[in-house]
């Protein structure tokens, strides 16, 4: 009984994640259209700095929303780190932070890049290392075929 309840709750949570992802995608599409309409208006603006900051903020929000949908659908550590990177980048670009806040944000970004580079890519390298013998065999077959072709052409 308990296992069946857990399975039902798991499936229900998955369905809710998909529904939330669909709602976010629709909102992103609507905001993307509004953003495209704002480009010509931005060129004629009197308050270029303020309007451009708002434009960048909206762009970053759309990018973060897209990454969030990917994270909800795929459940990947790489995508979760990318969402955090874009969030921090948005904060640095759009908001005017103090020197200490900027320094903390830079260290946070450096930490996220280190996590992505050393922890996530090492896991991928481990998987690729296991596939290397298969790739070596494939390369040998390709080399044999190339040699046969060259001999046939001569």
The pLDDT value recorded for residue 17 is 87
Spatial separation of the C-alpha atoms in residues 27 and 98, rounded to whole Å: 32
pLDDT tens digit sequence for 119-139:
776 655 554 454 455 455 555
The yes-or-no verdict on residue 44 having pLDDT over 90 is no
Average pLDDT, the chain: 79
- pTM value is 0.63
Spatial separation of the C-alpha atoms in residues 52 and 96, rounded to whole Å: 14
The yes-or-no verdict on residue 79 having pLDDT over 60 is yes
C-alpha angle 116-59-114 in degrees, rounded to nearest 5:
10
What single string gives the DSSP state of each residue in 54-112? Answer: HHHHHHHHHHHHHHHHHHHHH--HHHHHHHHHHHHHHHHHHS---HHHHHHHHHHHHHH
Write out the two tokens for 14: 């998955």
Please tell me the least confidently modeled range out of 50-59, 61-70, 100-109, 121-130.
Answer: 121-130
């Amino acid at each position: 009984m308990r296992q069946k309840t857990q399975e039902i709750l798991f499936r229900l949570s998955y369905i809710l994640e998909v529904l939330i992802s669909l709602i976010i995608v629709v909102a992103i599409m609507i905001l993307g259209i509004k953003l495209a309409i704002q480009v010509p208006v931005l060129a004629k603006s009197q308050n270029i700095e303020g309007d451009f900051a708002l434009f960048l903020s909206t762009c970053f929000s759309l990018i973060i929303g897209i990454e969030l949908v990917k994270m909800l659908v795929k459940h990947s550590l790489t995508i979760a780190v990318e969402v955090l990177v874009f969030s921090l980048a948005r904060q640095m670009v759009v908001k005017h932070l103090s020197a200490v806040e900027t320094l903390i944000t830079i260290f946070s970004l450096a930490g996220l890049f280190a996590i992505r580079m050393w922890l996530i890519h090492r896991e991928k390298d481990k998987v690729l290392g296991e596939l290397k013998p298969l790739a070596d065999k494939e390369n040998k077959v390709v080399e044999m075929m190339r040699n046969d072709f060259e001999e046939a052409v001569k």
